[in-house]
């Protein structure tokens, strides 16, 4: 079952690398969330995209935190706007009450004005009658012509008062008529001014109310949109968390721990050897091919000795993770020289102990191995009969 799982994992990895041939790289995920969600939520997440997806997940968590802060800020702003809106609404209600009161006063004043105008008309008629009586008594039209030839009402009063022949009653009548006319004009002006002032205030408050209402609706909409985006980021992050955890579990399950029982399947061993042989001529670079993105890359072109081993095993469907020569010494099982088969690894030590392990190669049969020797060299085949390798021989281990 272990062998079948490792083989299946290898097939899935190859298919994944076919779908995503190159590692995804991004430092700014803004505006590309859908793209990376699709990649990082995929059930066929590849090693080459693992680090980017971790970065993307961290980005989502930061975004979610920022969105939550924005939601709180938007809600606070909406709350302040609502308080202002309520205050303005109360002011408008108060102004409406004032307008209703003023309208009642206006109705009263209009009645008062109507009464004054009636009184003025009567007094004017009475004054005219007295003027005509005076005219008849004196048999002279000069008063009428003089008084009613005035250009306006004020001028008429002035002319009336200048007539010495008027009695005290006439003059009192003229004075009352003048006062009442002034009251009418003053009250009319007061009504117009008071009503216009209140209407202006109400119109201003109404406009302010509409502005705050629009702002409140906008802030509420923003808060709702931010909450929705925060929830989406949270759900997306949780989904990627689960995906990354599942991927890590699959990797861990597929790795061969120290002392594990292995199948020794020669087909797998041959596949490992052939994968390593396919990289003959590739340049040795110290520390190369130690990240999982490099190990999972079928087009990897630089290796050190342990990097070549990790890469060849992974490409053959056996994930032993990222290794150094010393960690390889603890994986799989030790086999004798006489039992070696293609795909086994050979470890070399400069002092004959685990502390001195410094090199590793992959046995390919016929007394030969393929390995990445040293800086300035390339991946190539070497004969194990060499005195150097015989002198530094430490162990043979089978990891498949």
Active site residues per annotation: 305, 359, 371
332 contacts 256 by C-beta, under 8 angstroms:
yes
**Tokens 């004020």 belong to which residue?**
154
φ, ψ of residue 317 to 5 degrees: the values are 100, 10
CA distance 165 to 157: 15
Other residues' Cβ atoms within 10 Å of the Cβ of residue 1: 5
CA distance 367 to 360: 15
370 contacts 381 by C-beta, under 8 angstroms:
yes
113 contacts 188 by C-beta, under 8 angstroms:
yes
Helix (H) or strand (E) holding 365: strand 357-365
State both tokens at 348.
């070399």
374 contacts 288 by C-beta, under 8 angstroms:
no
- Helix, strand counts (H, E) of the chain: 11, 8
Q: What is residue 325's three-state secondary structure?
A: helix
């Amino acid at each position: 079952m272990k062998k079948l799982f490792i083989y299946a994992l290898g097939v899935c990895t190859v298919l994944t690398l076919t779908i995503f041939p190159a590692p995804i790289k991004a430092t700014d995920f803004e505006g590309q969330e859908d793209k990376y969600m699709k990649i990082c939520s995929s059930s066929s997440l590849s090693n080459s995209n693992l680090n980017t997806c971790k970065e993307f997940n961290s980005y989502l968590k930061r975004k979610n935190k920022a969105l939550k802060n924005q939601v709180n800020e938007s809600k606070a702003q909406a709350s302040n706007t609502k308080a202002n809106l309520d205050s303005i609404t109360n002011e408008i209600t108060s102004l409406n009450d004032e307008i209703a009161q003023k309208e009642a006063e206006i109705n009263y004043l209009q009645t008062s004005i109507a009464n004054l105008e009636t009184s003025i008309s009567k007094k004017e008629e009475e004054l005219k009658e007295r003027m005509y009586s005076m005219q008849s008594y004196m048999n002279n039209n000069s008063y009428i012509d003089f008084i009613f030839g005035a250009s306006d009402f004020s001028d008429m009063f002035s002319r009336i008062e200048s007539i010495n022949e008027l009695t005290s009653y006439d003059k009192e009548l003229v004075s009352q008529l003048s006062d009442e006319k002034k009251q009418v004009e003053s009250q009319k002006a007061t009504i117009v001014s008071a009503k216009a002032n209140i209407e202006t205030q109400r119109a201003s408050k109404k406009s302010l109310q509409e502005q705050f209402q629009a702002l409140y609706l906008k802030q509420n909409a923003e808060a709702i949109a931010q909450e929705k985006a925060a929830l989406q980021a949270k759900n997306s992050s949780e989904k990627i968390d689960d995906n990354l955890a599942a991927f890590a579990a699959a990797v861990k399950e597929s790795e061969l721990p120290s002392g594990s029982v292995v199948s020794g399947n020669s087909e797998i061993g041959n596949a490992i050897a052939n994968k390593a042989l396919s990289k003959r001529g590739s340049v040795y670079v110290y520390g190369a091919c130690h990240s999982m993105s490099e190990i999972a890359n079928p087009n990897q072109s630089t290796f050190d000795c342990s990097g070549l081993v990790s890469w060849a095993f992974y490409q053959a469907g056996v994930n032993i993770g990222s290794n150094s020569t010393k960690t390889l010494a603890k994986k799989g099982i030790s086999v004798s020289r006489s039992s070696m088969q293609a795909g086994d690894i050979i470890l070399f030590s400069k002092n004959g102990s685990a502390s001195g392990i410094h090199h590793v190669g992959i046995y390919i049969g016929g007394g030969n191995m393929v390995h990445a020797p040293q800086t300035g060299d390339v991946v190539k085949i070497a004969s194990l009969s060499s005195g150097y390798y015989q002198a530094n021989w430490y162990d043979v281990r089978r990891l498949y």
